[in-house]
Amino acid sequence: MSERASAPPPASDPNTVPSVAARLALYQRAGGVITPLLTAFIAFLIGGLVVYATTGKDPVHTYKAIFKGTGLSWLSPVSIHWHLFYPAAIHWTGWDTTSPTALNLQQTLIVVTPLILTGLAVAFAFRCGLFNIGGNGQYTVGAIVAVQFGVWFAGLPGPLHVIVAMLAATLAGAAWGGIAGILKATTGAHEVITTIMLNWIALWVGSYLVGFNGPMQDPRAISAPVTRPIADSAHLHVFWGNPLLQGLHIGFFIAVAMLFVYWILLNRTTLGYEVRAVGFNAEAARYGGISVGRNFFLAMAISGAFAGLAGSIDILGWEFNLDLTVVQTVQVGFIGIAVALLGRNSAIGIFFSALLFGALLTGTSTRNLDPSVFQPQLAGNLTRIIQGLVVLFVGADLLIIYLWQARKKLRLPQRKTVEQA
């Protein structure tokens, strides 16, 4: 009868054996930071192997070049020259806001901004137990409405015009997401199917509106399928860098503020309580007096609102008009899925995973990646590979947890997941 039990955790009854599910939840919470980091690390590792196997290039060298293109090094004002493993020299470089690195960082953050919001669009629905694949469509609808409102009301004073356009775009996104929510609530139509269909509807309606002879096409640009530019009063204020060189606009702060809104909405309002209850256990929520259908609608509408806002911020912040190619090739809604998954639907997680994917996109863009190191076209695919791997690994959460456990306890055989304990 050796008393080998170490001090039990304060809040657990020593008489109860935790179920496998409970222990798994514990690992997930304990590995709350570790698991996503490990996921990203393994994704980059495999991406590096692909780089090496297909092009023979040095993956470390390639990743360094990509990192350089992101401008993230601007944040640390020292440059370190590594000699073997010891820093041979450390130079104080200071924060030069006009350096190419600073410009790169501005680009990165411009890309990060909509990713935060589309990440939230996926995450909020997730918390209600819904899988919102429709971020792209909701984003597109938001962008279309933002352009139209930016073109109209040219006489309004600046801030008001911006607010009107953003609000309209947010509502449009909410409506687009809300359709899927209503369908789910009333007919039980699965949101994955309906949001994908809504994506295509948004794409083709957008293409018609913006395309040649479309009602929104700029009459002065007969040869280009593009809308009229929005009025100057609808431009978002650029607070860092040169507005003419696509400096960083205040939309970034709006996105960051939305992270707080997301957290507060979920954790400090009755709406968030309902959404989470429905997401965890819809039957218990119904028994508790919560209308499940109403929450399906609200969750999808709020998700759509985030994505619609993302569309408007891109238009008002740096695009200023809507191009047919943008309507047809935009991906931010889909990357938002990876952002939410890697960020584990938490506000802070979404911020960092949006930063990661935004940096990857900028770092591998034609403009920022040194073509002598690695072909940007190939690097763009590398981004997609890493994005795909992240989604794959997050889906295979258990595998990561298992690897993490195996690291700690190499001999531990893998257990079958059972409900019994």
Partner 1 sequence: MADERPVLELRGITKQFPGVLANDHIDFELRRGEVHALLGENGAGKSTLMNILYGLYQPDEGEILIKGERVRLHSPKDAINRGIGMVHQHFMLIPVMTVAENIVLANEPTRAGVLLDTEAADRRVRELSKSFNFAIDPDARVESITVGQQQRVEILKALYRHADILILDEPTAVLTPQEAGELFEILGTLTREGMSVIFITHKLNEVLEIADRITVVRRGKGIDTVDRQGATEEGLARMMVGREVLLRVDKPASDPGDPLLTVDDLHVFDDRGLEAVRGVSFEVRGGEIVGIAGVDGNGQTELIDAITGLRKTAFGRVSIAGRDVTGAAPGTVLDRGLGHIPEDRQRRGLVLEFSLAENVALHDYDRPPDSRWGWLFPRQLIRRARELLTQFDVRGGGPQTRASSLSGGNQQKVVLAREIGREPSVLIAAQPTRGLDVGAIEFVHRRLVEARDNGKAVLLVSLELDEIISLSDRTLVFYEGEIVAEHGPDVSEDQLGIEMTGAGRREAVA
Q: Does 207 bind partner 1 (CB under 8 A)?
A: no
Scanning 281-375, the segments in alpha helix (DSSP H) are 282-287, 292-314, 324-329, 332-342, 347-363
Site residue total, partner 1 (CB under 8 A): 50
Q: Apex CA 245: angle with CA 142 and CA 217, to 5°?
A: 40
Q: Which two tokens stand for residue 80?
A: 């370190």
Q: Are the C-beta atoms of 358 and 111 separated by less than 8 Å?
A: yes
The least CB distance from residue 72 to partner 1, in Å, is 35
Task: Show the binding pattern over residues 249-268: x = contacts partner 1 (CB under 8 A), - = does not.
Answer: ------------------xx
The nearer residue to partner 1, 22 or 193, going by C-beta atoms, is: 22
Q: Is 186 in the site for partner 1 (CB under 8 A)?
A: no
- Residue 8 or 155 with smaller CB distance to partner 1: 8
Residue 402 CB, nearest distance to partner 1 (Å)?
A: 15
Chain residues 23-62 in contact with partner 1, contact rule CB under 8 A: 23, 25-26
Q: 3-class SS at 81?
A: strand
Residue 271 is a binding residue for partner 1 (CB under 8 A): yes
The reply on whether position 16 binds partner 1 by CB under 8 A is yes
- CA–CA separation, 241 and 294 (whole Å): 44
Q: Which of 106, 39, 98, 111 shows the shortest CA–CA distance to 386?
A: 39
User: Which is nearer to partner 1, 115 or 285 (by Cβ)?
Assistant: 285
Calpha distance 162→141 (Å, rounded): 17
Does 315 sit near partner 1 (CB under 8 A)? no
Is 322 within 8 Å of 314 (Cβ atoms)?
A: no
Min. distance of Cβ 188 from partner 1 in angstroms? 14
Check residue 98 for interaction with partner 1 (CB under 8 A).
Answer: no
Does residue 17 belong to the site contacting partner 1 (CB under 8 A)?
A: yes
Please list every residue from 286 through 305 that binds partner 1, using CB under 8 A.
286-291
Of 245 and 412, the one with the shorter C-beta distance to partner 1 is 412
Distances (CA, A) of 159 to 61, 84, 236, 245: 45, 53, 8, 22
- In which element (H, E) is residue 135 found? helix 135-151
Report yes or no: 228 and 218 within 8 Å, Cβ to Cβ.
yes
* Using rule CB under 8 A, residue 280 touches partner 1: yes
How far apart are alpha carbons 302 and 378 in whole angstroms? 36
Binding test (CB under 8 A) with partner 1, winner from 37, 193, 284, 396 = 284
For position 273 contacting partner 1 by CB under 8 A, the verdict is yes
Q: Which of 76, 79, 186, 269 binds partner 1 (CB under 8 A)?
A: 269
Count of Cβ atoms closer than 10 Å to residue 22 Cβ = 12
Which residues are near partner 1 by CB under 8 A? 1, 3-9, 11-19, 21-23, 25-26, 267-274, 276-277, 280-281, 283-291, 413, 415-416, 418-421
